[in-house]
Amino acid sequence: MANFIEQIIDGDLAKGLDRKSLRFRFPPEPNGHLHIGHAKAICLNFGLGEKYQAPVNLRFDDTNPEKEEQAFVDAIKEDIKWLGFSWAEEKYASDYFQTLYNWAVEMIKNGAAYIDEQEQSIIIEQRKNPGEPGIESPYRNRPTDESLALFQKMKNGEVEEGAMVLRAKIDMNSPNMNMRDPVMYRVLKKPHHRTGDTWKIYPIYDWTHGQSDYLEKISHSLCTVEFENHRPLYEWYLNQVKPQEELGPKQREFARLNLSYTVTSKRKLQKLVEEGHVSGWDDPRMPTISGIRRRGYTPQSIREFCQRAGISKRDNLIDVSLLEFTLRDELNKTAQRVMCVVDPIKLIIENYPEDQTEFIQTENNPEDPASGTREIPFSREIYIEREDFMEEASGKFFRLTLGQEVRLKGAYIIKATRVEKNEKGEIITVFCSFDPLSKSGSGSLESKRKVKGTLHWVSVKQAVSCKVRIYDRLFTHPSPDADKEVDFLTHLNEDSFKETEGFAEPFLAQAKMGDSFQFQRLGYFCVDKDSQKDKLVFNKTVGLKDSWKKD
Ligand code: ATP
Ligand code: MG
């Protein structure tokens, strides 16, 4: 079924809008890295482009040189490409600075804009509140020539920052605060990452956005709902620059993506990075595109997630487990099954010949017969997970205990006989015996014997040592930034990161950065960029099941 944005477009086409004039854009501000919320806007705009065979521009909304950088531009482009989309044209709001300036001069001449020399705090104060009339600036009706001359001075850098601004002359009594003579330009003596120090004044978002849409002939300009009450201003500005009979771009609003246990605001994400709560923008716990990519998410899973989350008119909170579910669903079909022990304890099979190694034939992925098979070495000394052994345990523990039998996956049935401890009383080695007739798949009666537990394992002699990074949610609260009175950082999960030294089967020595695997019984893991030739680093992407306890 068509979402409500598609219904609007279909309606416009039905009313006679030429299909060829459909054009969309994705307009990021290059002041940070893209996050999962932006992925929704990207999938929406580029998805419309695919559906209607229409061009989609990438436009950098670069009107604030204080916070913007070329590095962010580059990272944003990389992220969009990685998601699998390509843009028609790469544009910058700064490409339009001269045109915008010329238009602003025309507006002053038409009596639609004026220079205000009051302090910012006074301007804000005079706006008042929606229920009461605002106060007009004493400069509001100054002669056009004065405003023109001052605007020229602002542009030439002859005016100090904060000394004056250009304001649109609209309506100081409007119930819509955005219409109470909004600021169009401020003085800012900062070099811009593209225009250098050509400009000493910079246009405000509202004045820039719609005109950029107009210049690029965007038919439908889609933004998030907090801009709904900017729509009258968007249209007012367009009417200052375009002929009345011309159809301008149409602004429509859709709900932001809010994800539980997550913040999606560049400013807050920046704070996490700057204060060192995470290792960087691409920390695998971050909801940035670069973070979730490093965590092991695939472009398809993110696109699929955005599809499932849908496009709605009103804000809602999407459960982060939907994102995890979507990925798990995909990796289950594609990820190779391997064995890795993340918190090892050594096991010695005393009745297994000392210098023997045998190879266990195993399927790479039972969900995908085309993925083939491989061999895993098995020998006298192996690693198992520390938590898979207890000296004594209750009847509910179906793993290894003294005197109890379990199966080593794909191999033999073993029975633990005794343990060796260090001086602190910690178990360092578990001794056991194996049943040579019980080998999986051998067809013997013993191979069919039922035992309660099956453990994964890695042969010590051939093991590849690795670091395993286990992540949990970054926040303990489902809406960490919902309460404006409480600092979102108070909801940080102190235990969201843990690193262990593990051992993997030798096949993994060939793994390359970004490769994803299912570590049997543990979850999905991918190779991190910190990996070195002799020390692989794995990130836990997601568990096998949704293990997060419901509150
Ligand atoms: P932030 O608050 O994180 O800085 P922003 O809206 O200021 O976000 P922009 O770079 O201006 O970031 O956003 C580019 C586009 O992405 C805009 O059209 C914006 O509406 C959209 N967008 C940003 N955040 C979300 C979100 N959480 N859900 C859906 N769309 C979003
Ligand atoms: Mg923004």
The predicted pLDDT at position 450 comes to 87
Segment 478-500 shows an average pLDDT of 96
The yes-or-no answer on residue 380 being catalytic is no
Question: pLDDT-based confidence at 129, cuts 50/70/90?
Answer: very high
The predicted pLDDT at position 161 comes to 97
The predicted pLDDT at position 447 comes to 86
CA of 41 to the centre of ligand 1 (A): 7
Closest CA to 170 of 129, 209, 121, 136: 136
The predicted pLDDT at position 548 comes to 53
- Phi and psi at 422, nearest 5°, equal -90, -175
State how far the Cα of 551 lies from the Cα of 549, in Å rounded to an integer: 6
Please write the tens of the pLDDT for every residue from 189-223: 999 999 999 999 999 999 999 999 999 999 999 99
Please write the tens of the pLDDT for every residue from 265-280: 999 999 999 999 999 9
CA of 76 to the centre of ligand 2 (A): 14
State how far the Cα of 455 lies from the Cα of 502, in Å rounded to an integer: 15
Please write the tens of the pLDDT for every residue from 422-433: 999 999 999 999
The predicted pLDDT at position 445 comes to 87
Please write the tens of the pLDDT for every residue from 349-390: 999 999 999 999 999 999 998 999 999 999 999 999 999 999
Q: 522 in helix, strand or coil? A: coil
CA of 468 to the centre of ligand 2 (A): 36
Atom of ligand 1 nearest to the CA of 266: 3
Other C-beta atoms lying within 10 Å of the C-beta of residue 36: 25
- pLDDT above 90 covers a percentage of the chain that reads 92
Closest CA to 121 of 170, 176, 162: 162
Atom of ligand 1 nearest to the CA of 29: 10
The yes-or-no answer on residue 293 being catalytic is no
The yes-or-no answer on residue 29 being catalytic is yes
545 pLDDT higher than 90: no
Assign residue 299 a region (left: φ > 0; alpha: ψ between -120 and 50; beta: otherwise): alpha
Segment 34-51 shows an average pLDDT of 97
Q: What's the half-sphere exposure (Cβ side, CA atoms, 13 Å) at 519?
A: 29
The predicted pLDDT at position 547 comes to 58
Chain mean pLDDT for the chain: 95
The predicted pLDDT at position 551 comes to 37
315 pLDDT higher than 90: no
More confident residue, 402 or 1: 402
Tokens representing 103? Answer: 């238009």
State how far the Cα of 147 lies from the Cα of 432, in Å rounded to an integer: 91
Our mutation pick for probing the ligand 1 site, out of 224, 231, 268, 272, counting the most ligand atoms within 8 A of Cβ, is 224
Cα of 215 vs its chain's centroid, Å: 30
The predicted pLDDT at position 147 comes to 98
CA of 257 to the centre of ligand 1 (A): 9
CA-nearest residue for atom 29, ligand 1, is 256
For 142-151, the CB contacts below 8 A with 24+ separation are 142/114, 142/115, 144/108, 144/109, 144/111, 146/115, 147/108, 147/113, 147/114, 147/115, 148/105, 148/108, 148/109, 150/115, 150/117, 151/104, 151/105, 151/108, 151/115, 151/185
Catalytic residue among 77, 256, 268, 415: 256
Closest CA to 96 of 211, 235, 219: 211
Catalytic residue among 29, 78, 330, 367: 29
The predicted pLDDT at position 534 comes to 87
The predicted pLDDT at position 546 comes to 67
Which residue shows structure tokens 């910690």? 426
550 pLDDT higher than 50: no
Please write the tens of the pLDDT for every residue from 519-533: 999 999 999 999 998
Pocket of ligand 1 (CB under 6 A): 27-29, 37-38, 40-41, 61, 223-224, 256-257, 264-266
The predicted pLDDT at position 549 comes to 45
Start-to-end CA span in the chain (Å): 34
What is the four-CA torsion angle of 260, 264, 268, 270, rounded to 10 degrees? 130
Q: 193 in helix, strand or coil? A: coil
- pLDDT above 70 covers a percentage of the chain that reads 99
The predicted pLDDT at position 437 comes to 95
